[in-house]
Amino acid sequence: MSDKIKLLIVDDEVNFLESMAKRLEMRGFDVRTATRGADAVEIARKEPFDLALLDLKMPGMDGKQVLEILKKEDKFIEVIILTGHGSVDSAVDCTKLGAFGYLPKPYELDKLMDTLKQAYQAKMEKKFQANRELMERIAKLATGSSALAILRELKKVNDENQP
C-alpha cells in the first residue's frame, strides 16, 4: 500500500506523456500512463486511481469519452482535462460530465500542481461525506428492527458501496 497519490495520465503524444510522468513522479505521485483512451479505461478497471489527467483530443476514444467512463465507474476519482485544443464548448461539456478542471497546453507546472492538489482535496471531501452518510445510515439501522432485519439491511448497504 503506497502513501502516494495514484495518478493516471493519458495522452497520445508520447514525448509529452513521458516528460509529464517523470515530472510528476519526481513530485511524489504514483503515475501510470496510457497513450490511448481505451487502454486508460482498461488500466483504471484493474486498479483504483485518485486522479486522472486526460488529453482531450486523441485518436479513437477521446478524453471526453474516457472522462465519462471513469466518472461512471468510480464516483470518487477526480479528472482534469489538459488540452491544446480547448474551447468554451468542450470545457462546458467536460464540466457537465464531472471534470474537476480544464487546463490548456502548454501547461504551467505550478498551476497544474495546484489543480491536482485541489482535485485531491475535493476527492477526499466527497469520500469523507459519503462515509459520514454511510455511518449515519448504519447507526439508524442498528436502532431499528430485529437482528436478522438489521443484518439484511447492512448486507444491502455493503453491496451498494462496493466499487
φ/ψ of residue 80, rounded to 5: -120, 130
State the Cα–Cα distance between residues 127 and 133, nearest whole angstrom. 10
State the Cα–Cα distance between residues 116 and 112, nearest whole angstrom. 6
> Residue type for 83, please?
T
Look up the CATH architecture of domain 6-126.
Answer: 3-Layer(aba) Sandwich (3.40)
Per-residue confidence band for 14, with pLDDT thresholds at 50, 70 and 90: very high
State the Cα–Cα distance between residues 1 and 48, nearest whole angstrom. 12
Nearest CA among 41, 24, 52, 37 for reference residue 120: 52
pLDDT tens for residues 64-102? 999 999 999 999 999 999 988 777 888 888 889 999 999
- pLDDT of 132: 87
State the Cα–Cα distance between residues 102 and 80, nearest whole angstrom. 6
